[in-house]
Structure 1
Amino acid sequence: MKLIQSRDNVFYKSLKRLAESGRERRKTGRTLLDGVHLVEAWETRYGPVETLVVGESALAGGEIAAFVAGRECTLLSDALLRDLGLVDTPSGLLAVVAMPGRASAVDLDRDAVLLDGVQDPGNVGTLLRTAAAAGIRQVLLSPGCAAAWSPKVLRAGQGAQFVLDIHEDADLAGFVAAYRGSTAVTCLDGATSLYEAQWQGPLAWIFGAEGQGVRRELIAAADLRIRIPMPGAVESLNVGAAAAVCLFEAMRRKLVS
Structure 2
Amino acid sequence: MSVIYLESKENAKIKHLRALIELNNYRKKHKQTVLEGTHLSLAWLQQNQHITSLFTTEAALEHIDLKKIQQIYKGHIFILSEVLYRDLSTLGTTLPCLAVIETPQQSSSLNFNVDTLILDDVQDPGNVGTLLRSAAAANIKQIICTKGVASLWSPRVLRAGMGAHFSLECFENIHLEDILPQFNIPVYVTSSHKPQSLYTQNLTQPCAWVLGNEGQGASPYALENAQAVAIPQPGGQESLNVAIAGSICFFEMVRQRQ
User: Do they fold alike, i.e. is TM over 0.5?
Assistant: yes
Distance 2:222 2:94 in 1: 38
> How far off is 1:90 after superposition?
4.9
> How far off is 1:13 after superposition?
0.4
Question: For structure 2, which runs of at least 5 residues remain unmatched after alignment?
Answer: none
Paired residues in the alignment total 253
| Aligned 8 A contact 2:204 2:257 in 1 | no
> How far off is 1:208 after superposition?
0.9
> How far off is 1:89 after superposition?
4.8
Query: What per-residue deviation string (whole Å, max 9, x for no partner) do you get for residues 91-138 of structure 1?
Result: 410111111221411101111000010111111111111111100010
User: Is 1:225 aligned to 2:228, yes or no?
Assistant: yes
User: Is 1:134 aligned to 2:138, yes or no?
Assistant: yes
| Counterpart secondary structure, 1:184 | strand
> How far off is 1:58 after superposition?
2.1
Distance 1:69 1:189 in 2: 52
Letter of the 1:84 partner, please give it.
Answer: L
Distance 2:39 2:124 in 1: 22
User: Which residue in 2 is equivalent to 1:249?
Assistant: 252
Question: After the TM superposition, which of the residue ranges 151-160 and 41-50 deviates more from structure 2?
Answer: 41-50
User: Which residue in 2 is equivalent to 1:194?
Assistant: 198
Alignment identity in percent?
Answer: 38
Letter of the 2:167 partner, please give it.
Answer: V
Distance 2:119 2:94 in 1: 27
User: Which residue in 2 is equivalent to 1:14?
Assistant: 16
Distance 1:103 1:141 in 2: 16
> How far off is 1:4 after superposition?
2.0
Question: For structure 1, which runs of at least 5 residues remain unmatched after alignment?
Answer: none
Which aligned pairs between 1:125-164 and structure 2 lie closer than 5 A? 125-164=129-168
> How far off is 1:249 after superposition?
0.4
> How far off is 1:22 after superposition?
1.3
| Counterpart secondary structure, 1:185 | strand
| Counterpart secondary structure, 1:140 | strand
RMSD: 1.9
Distance 1:129 1:81 in 2: 27
Query: What per-residue deviation string (whole Å, max 9, x for no partner) do you get for residues 137-184 of structure 1?
Result: 101000011110111111111111111110000122221111100010
User: Which residue in 2 is equivalent to 1:116?
Assistant: 120
| Aligned 8 A contact 1:113 1:205 in 2 | yes
| Aligned 8 A contact 1:118 1:209 in 2 | yes
Letter of the 1:244 partner, please give it.
Answer: S
Query: What per-residue deviation string (whole Å, max 9, x for no partner) do you get for residues 73-104 of structure 1?
Result: 11112222222254465541011111122141
Query: What per-residue deviation string (whole Å, max 9, x for no partner) do you get for residues 235-255 of structure 1?
Result: 322111111100000111112
